[in-house]
Amino acid sequence: MRILKINVNLIIIIIIIIIIILINIIITITIIIIIIIIIIIFIIIIIISSSISSIIINIIIIIIIIIIIIIIIIIIIIIIIIIIIIIITIFIIIIIIITTTTIIIIIIIIIVIIIIITTTTIIIIIIIIITQNGQRNKLYAFYRAETLYSKR
């Protein structure tokens, strides 16, 4: 009976982990898809635009949109991580009450892996935001120089 109880708990833990990993995969895939779509829109608008100044304005608008989307994605990911942490803690409490220390150790290892996965996705997003900000500053400097030159 004891062995059966442990097996059931292990199955539950494995299912939870699979769900969490799937959520992570879905998040990363959606981020990649959104970035690809933004790049495509970006290229189309640049092709449609005629003069240099309108291209620069469009680029600035697109970059602002990209930053807003990335911020929304980060908020969603943070919410998901909080939910995941809550679920994990609840299950840890349940399992500590029910089973042996070996299973608890396994759970801790798995949680560490999950945290690593989620943090890496967040780090990637932060890197994207930083690079986008850098590009926006360069574009703004270029736009200012271009407008000053055209006034002369």
Q: How far is CA 27 from CA 17, 63, 65, 140, in A?
A: 15, 21, 19, 31
Inform me whether the pLDDT recorded for 51 exceeds 70: no
Inform me whether the pLDDT recorded for 49 exceeds 70: no
What is the average per-residue pLDDT within 48-64? 70
**Residue 72 confidence (pLDDT):** 76
- Per-residue pLDDT of 95-108, as tens digits, reads 666 665 666 667 77
Query: What is this structure's pTM?
Result: 0.36
DSSP 99: S
Q: Fill in the amino acid letter for 17.
A: I
For every residue of 111-128, DSSP letters joined together read HHHHHHHHHHHHHHHHHH
Element counts in the chain: helices (H) and strands (E): 3, 0
What mean pLDDT is reported for the chain?
Answer: 70
Q: Place 141 in a pLDDT band, splitting at 50, 70 and 90.
A: low
Inform me whether the pLDDT recorded for 136 exceeds 60: no
Structure tokens at 14: 């494995």
Q: Place 78 in a pLDDT band, splitting at 50, 70 and 90.
A: confident
Cα gap 139→39, rounded to integer Å: 16
Q: Which residue has the tokens 């640049």?
A: 46
**Residue 125 confidence (pLDDT):** 72
Q: What is the dihedral of CA 67, 68, 74, 77, to 10 degrees?
A: -140
What is the average per-residue pLDDT within 111-135? 72
